[in-house]
Amino acid sequence: MRNPLSDKVVALEPSGIRKFFDIVSEMKDAIFLGVGEPDFDTPWHIREEGIYSLERGRTFYTSNSGLMELRQEICSYLKHKIHVTYSPKEVLITVGGSEAIDIAMRAMLNPGEEVLIPQPSFVSYLPCCVMAGGKPVVIDLKEGDEFKLTKQQLLDAITDKTKLLVLPFPNNPTGAILEKQELEELAEVIIEKDIYVLSDEIYSELSYKEEGHTSIASLPGMKERTILINGFSKAFAMTGWRLGYAAGPEKILEQMTKIHQFAIMCAPTTSQYAAVEALRNGDRDVQEMRESYNQRRRFLMHTFKEMNLECFEPFGAFYAFPSIKRFGMTSEEFAERLLKEEKVAVVPGTAFGACGEGYLRISYAYSMEDLKKALGRLKKFVNRLDGKEE
Ligand SMILES: Cc1ncc(COP(=O)(O)O)c(C=O)c1O
C-alpha cells in the first residue's frame, strides 16, 4: 500500500511532556508537578455566564473573527493593561493561544523563511514553524543571562532570510521575563533589521515584579510589527474552554482569519460569552490567583535553597527551572529516577529544547499541600544523591 503519511509530520518529535504524564497516570500515590495549567477552577461568575448563555439558546456560530462584544472587551483590556490601542478588526478570537500561534506562522511564512525561536520554550513553536514551511533557527538562552534573550544573541542569529522572531516571555518553562529596557534593546534590532515578532504573552498576568508585564507591542514602532498572542487559559484558569486571541496588524490578521475560517470556523461560542464576563469582572480573581502563585513560588525558592538545589529566580508564569547539573545525570535520568524512587514527576528540561539539558521544569500550579509533599520527597532524593543521612 502507498504510504499514507506526510514525511514532514512523521519527522516531528512528539511532545516530551506527555510521556511522563502517561506513566504517572498509572502510578498510585505519585505527585505530578508537570502540568502547565492552573489548579484553580474557573471562577464561578465566569462559569455561570457560560451556563447562562446556553440557557438563553446562544448555541450558534459566532462570526469567524469572534463576537464583536468580546473583541471590544479585549481592546479595552489591552488598552488598560499594556497601553496599546487596538480596534476590533485587529483582534481575532482563536481556539486557545495554541491556534493563534499556528495560524500566525501559516499566514506569514513562505518556504524557507527563517523563524528565530529562543529555547528553552513552549513546545509548539518549532513544530508549527516546520508545518508552516518555515525554517526554525533556535537561539539557546543561557542561565547566566537569566534565560533572557539578549540583543547580541538576536543580532548573531539574524540573516537575510529571517522573517519572524518568537518572543516567549514570561517564559514556559524557565519563568524568565523581559523588562522594558531589555525589550527596548531588542526592538531597536527588530526595527532596524525589518523583521516581525510573535509575542506569546499568555502568562502576562503572572508577572511577580512590582512593575508588572510590559508588552513589546507598546514600544514605539512595534505595534505594526507584533502579533501578540494571549488567551484565557492561564490568567483566568480556563484551559478547557479553549479560548485565546491574536492582536496585530490588520493585514496579517485578515490572512489568519482566512485559515481560521476554513479550519475552525469560529472559537467555541459558550466560551466567548464566558470570556466577556472574565474580562469585565475577573480582575480580582486574577489578582487572587497571582498572589497565591507568588506565595508558592517563594516557598519553592526557599525550599530549593534548603536542599542546595541551584535555581535562578523566576519572575513570571508558574514554573521554576532548577539546575541538576551537579548530580552528573541527564535531565531525563534524574526525572525518571525521581519518579521511580520517590513518585514525584517533573518534566526534563530537554522537553523544551536541547539547551534545557541539566534542568527540570517544576510547575507550582499545585496546592501548597501537594507542593510540600512533593518537595519533601525531592529533598529526600537529593539528600540521598548527596550521600546525606535520611
Ligand atoms: C507559552 C505558552 N503559550 C501558549 C500556550 C497555549 O495555551 P492555550 O492554547 O491553552 O491558550 C501554552 C500552554 O501551556 C504556553 O505555555
The 10s digit of each residue's pLDDT in 316-366 is 999 999 999 999 999 999 999 999 999 999 999 999 999 999 999 999 999
Domain total of the chain: 2
Q: Which of 225, 258, 282 is the last residue of a domain?
A: 282
- Do 292 and 276 lie in one domain? The reply is no
3-state secondary structure of 190: helix
- Do 199 and 68 lie in one domain? The reply is yes
Question: What is the residue-averaged pLDDT of the chain?
Answer: 96
Task: Count Cβ atoms within 10 A of the Cβ of residue 189 and give its class: 0-12 exposed, 13-18 middle, 19 or more buried.
Answer: middle
> Given a cut of 80, is residue 283 above it in pLDDT?
yes
Helices 16-25 and 331-342: angle between axes, nearest 10 degrees: 10
294 Cα to the center of ligand 1, angstroms: 20
> What pLDDT is attached to residue 24?
79
- Do 361 and 300 lie in one domain? The reply is yes
Q: How far, in Å, CA of 319 to CA of 130, rounded? A: 27
Output phi, psi for 322, to 5 deg. -70, 150
Residue 359 covered by a domain: yes
Q: Which structural domain range is residue 260 located in?
A: 46-282
Residue nearest ligand 1's atom 15 by CA: 122
CB 182 within 8 A of CB 315: no
Atom of ligand 1 nearest to the CA of 36: 14
Q: In the structure, which protein residues have their CB atom closer than 6 angstroms to any atom of ligand 1?
A: 36, 96-98, 122, 168, 172, 200, 202, 231, 233, 239, 244
9 Cα to the center of ligand 1, angstroms: 21
Q: How far, in Å, CA of 255 to CA of 103, rounded? A: 9
> What pLDDT is attached to residue 311?
95
The 10 Å CB-count burial string (b at 16+, else e) for 328-341 is ebebbebbbebbee
Residue type, 27: M
- Do 304 and 325 lie in one domain? The reply is yes
Tens-digit pLDDT profile for residues 123-167: 999 999 999 999 999 999 999 999 999 999 999 999 999 999 999
To test the pocket of ligand 1, the residue of 18, 102, 122, 236 to mutate (highest count of ligand atoms within 8 Å of its CB) is: 122
Tens-digit pLDDT profile for residues 359-378: 999 999 999 999 999 999 99
202 Cα to the center of ligand 1, angstroms: 6
Mean pLDDT throughout 211-226?
Answer: 97
What is the CA angle 146-247-168, rounded to 5?
A: 15
Residue 390 covered by a domain: no
In sequence order, what are the residues at sequence separation of 6 or more whose Cβ sits closer than 8 angstroms to the Cβ of residue 364?
33, 293, 296, 297, 299, 300, 318, 319, 320, 371
Please tell me which residue, 223 or 387, carries the higher pLDDT value.
223
